[in-house]
Amino acid sequence: MSAFNAIGEEREIDREEFTPGIEPQPTWCPGCGDFGVLKSLKQALPEVGRTPEETLLVTGIGCSGKLNSYLDSYGFHTIHGRSLPVARAAKLANPGLEVIAAGGDGDGYGIGGNHFMHTARENHDMTYIVFNNEIFGLTKGQTSPTSPKGHKSKTQPSGSAKDPIRPLSLSLTSGASYIARTAAVNPNQAKEILKEAMEHDGFAHVDFLTQCPTWNKDAKQYVPYIDVQESDDYDFDVHDRQEAQEMMYETENVLKEGTVLTGRFYVDEDRPSYQEEKQAIGEMPEEPLAERYFDDDYEWERSYDLLDRHR
Ligand SMILES: Cc1ncc(C[n+]2csc(CCOP(=O)(O)OP(=O)(O)O)c2C)c(N)n1
Ligand code: SF4
Ligand SMILES: [Mg+2]
């Protein structure tokens, strides 16, 4: 079965279809927030009408990168920090696919930070989930770009001297058109946010707070969380860039003090995606590039049918 043409029919989709037949038991530590990402993703995909055959998950390296092994879909476990360029290429070749890139805070905001910035700037149509546990989990707890100032680790035994990056603000400044933060401790909200991110046309960035009880004992700081859309204390327009910017800045400030604000922070539905911009200047055909690899006799639906179905 070709990765370009394995297209499911219109039908009821059971979330268990996304559970692989081999290696179904995650090797994440008990209590790891990564379970929350897997669970909410498995719930969200059928609810947006996607089958495993219509989904491509591209991951980086880290505990988070293991997500590929536990979700039955097309998958590509790339190298450290490089999930986004692979995801971009796949989406450009076959825009009918639901393309999800995922990786850790070290992977996406550190070594892959350049790709993050430019994929957001170019507004590539995909969902990008960053498992933000504020440390390098897989390599046993080193300081990461989101570790709070003063955080002690093996690499910074006296405490990090540096302020963490501001992932939401960075995303907005770079050009992402959907920006949200959710947390593994809030699976219902996480599912809804992932659905919105997948349905969004453009680069949808979800900063997903995932506790690491093994190497980051401060994980308890993620509880309780506040949903900014549900709370009466916050009133801002997610479509207004300046209001979103101010809300993100506050959100990033208060996280250091242990107040976890989650929800949608910025949504721009009007900005054309990279593909649309390229088509507008005649640099990209209307038909999926993947279509060129089809033989007229193929029994499966063709990739432009998939594109029509999900447009
Ligand atoms: C080029 C390269 N440098 C370093 C590593 C070692 N390495 C593997 S995972 C990782 C960090 C993982 O942290 P993060 O991205 O936050 O993911 P987590 O494990 O926390 O989910 C590092 C430094 C590597 N695999 N490749
Ligand atoms: S080391 Fe941390 S991030 Fe990795 S699986 Fe264990 S709890 Fe999760
Ligand atoms: Mg991490």
**Cα 35 to chain center, whole Å?**
15
Shortest-distance atom of ligand 1 to CA 136: 13
Domain boundaries, the chain: 15-310
Asked if residue 131 has its Cβ within 6 Å of ligand 1, the reply is yes
pLDDT grade, residue 219 (50/70/90)?
low
Asked if residue 106 has its Cβ within 6 Å of ligand 1, the reply is yes
**DSSP for 152-190, written as a single string:** --SS-TT---SPPP-HHHHHHHHT-SEEEEEETT-HHHH
Tokens of 23: 């290696």
* CA atoms of 29 and 268, how far apart (whole Å): 37
pLDDT digits (tens, 9 = 90+) for 133-162: 999 999 999 999 999 999 999 899 999 999
Cβ-proximal residues to 180 (8 Å cutoff; 6+ apart), any chain: 193, 196, 197, 204, 205, 206, 207, 262, 263, 264, 265
* Closest CA relative to residue 105, chosen from 130, 81, 82: 130
* CA atoms of 216 and 259, how far apart (whole Å): 17
pLDDT of residue 208: 97
Shortest-distance atom of ligand 1 to CA 105: 16
pTM: 0.95
Q: For strand 74-77 and strand 98-104, is the pairing parallel, antiparallel, or unpaired?
A: unpaired
Shortest-distance atom of ligand 2 to CA 215: 2
DSSP label of 80:
T
Asked if residue 63 has its Cβ within 6 Å of ligand 1, the reply is yes
For ligand 2, atom 5, the nearest C-alpha belongs to 28
DSSP label of 259:
-
pLDDT grade, residue 5 (50/70/90)?
very low
Instruction: Tell me which residues have their CB within 5 A of the ion that is ligand 3.
Output: 104-105, 133, 137
Identify the nearest ligand to the CA of 60 by its number: 1
Q: Cα(92) to centroid of ligand 2, in Å?
A: 33
pLDDT grade, residue 18 (50/70/90)?
very high
| Helix, strand, coil shares, percent, the chain, to 5 | 40, 15, 45
In the chain, what percentage of residues exceed pLDDT 70?
Answer: 94
Asked if residue 62 has its Cβ within 6 Å of ligand 1, the reply is yes
Substitution candidate for ligand 2 out of 38, 211, 215, 216 with most atoms within 8 A of CB:
215
CATH superfamily of the 15-310 domain: Thiamin diphosphate (ThDP)-binding fold, Pyr/PP domains (3.40.50.970)
